[in-house]
Amino acid sequence: MKNKIKVGLIGSGFVGQVAHISSLASIKDVKIVALSELREKLGLQVCNKFKIDNFYNNFEEMIDENQLDLVVAIVRRYHTAEVAYRVLKKGINLFTEKPMAPSFYQANKLLKLSKKKKVKYIIGNMRRFDKGIQYVKKFISEENSKKKLGNIISFKVFCYAGYDYCNIDGDIKTNEPPPTNTNWPKYPVWIKSKKEGLEFEKFLNYFSHDINLIRYFFGNNFKVNGILKRNCGNIYFDYKHFYGTFEFIYSKNKIWREGIEINFDNGKIEISLPPAFLKNQPASIKIYFDNGLKKIFEPKLDWTWSFKNQCVDLIKSIKYGNNSISDASDTINDLKVIEKIWLNKKI
């Protein structure tokens, strides 16, 4: 068993600072050893704030010069896969944000490399670590709940994606422009136009976590197709004994509405998910029992934040060798599903 987990950070932008670095810095089992950031002024100020001793402009120098148990790479979406490949090639445990890559081909390349190097490769599907999500996952798997609610007959997942930053603050900003160059393709090679590629990339970035939650609750054995338009769409999931839908909208207002409704023979469960950056606010749950009792149960969950819960789980996974519920070997299926949706879509 390790003492403190030695962590190297790649990237220190807004999301990295407010969600990941701040969470990691608050965990007693963590020692943040070094930070790599191309924007030097930003990187040095973040190091000073979080008392990180070693700063690098080049992350490969960082991973060469430090004995690290884990690298946490929070970079731009289209940089993630390229950075991940170089870290995994060094044989270091890795955490990145979702999506793990812009295409299934790239994700599979990374997953194979992580297995070859025998390192943990964990992806930031933070919704799975929401205490409300975990409560419902446990509830519907218990035999007692099956007796009360019966079998699942349908589900609906929806995300009306507006603005989810919730005026969260505390991040350091500088006037340095973020890096934009990349050597890896930004979307699957079978997409022929830049316009379609940007639409695919947008859907992947906004909604891969909803596809991830559908698989988390209901499994991978389904047929899928979708009707996608420029700003909205509806995707149909055909499981063997029930069906479900995912409805999405790109909203222009500041409201973020996201949730899950699961219908059973004798009731239903409603999950209302908070915006991602609303701190210490778990999902709210309503469980409706229709088997003659006609009652509603609303569990009261502790004030926790899924980003922090995710980091705690990540460190436990590295320290104790636990399997993560957000491992890359599972997350890669999100890309498989989304590419299938895109290939079979009806405009």
Beta strand pairing call for 70-73 and 5-10: parallel
Sequence-separated (6 or more) residues with CB below 8 Å from residue 96: 72, 73, 74, 75, 80, 83, 84, 123, 124
What is the per-residue pLDDT for 346? 62
114 SS3 class:
helix
181 SS3 class:
coil
Complete domains list, the chain, with CATH: 5-126+309-326 (3.40.50.720), 128-303+334-344 (3.30.360.10)
Beta strand pairing call for 243-250 and 152-161: parallel
Q: Are 59 and 7 in contact (CB under 8 A)?
A: no
Residue type, 251: S
Considering only CA atoms, which of 342, 104, 103 is closest in space to residue 228?
342
Q: Which two tokens stand for residue 315?
A: 């460190």
Instruction: Please give the radius of gyration of the chain, using alpha carbons only, rounded to the nearest integer.
Output: 21
Ranges of residues in the chain whose predicted pLDDT is under 50? none
Distance CA 111, CA 19 (A): 25
Distance CA 230, CA 252 (A): 13
- Backbone φ and ψ of 254, nearest 5°: -95, 5
What is the per-residue pLDDT for 2? 65
What is the per-residue pLDDT for 126? 98
Q: Which two tokens stand for residue 338?
A: 């989304």
284 SS3 class:
strand
- Backbone φ and ψ of 156, nearest 5°: -135, 125
pLDDT, tens only, 143-174? 767 788 999 999 999 999 999 999 999 999 99
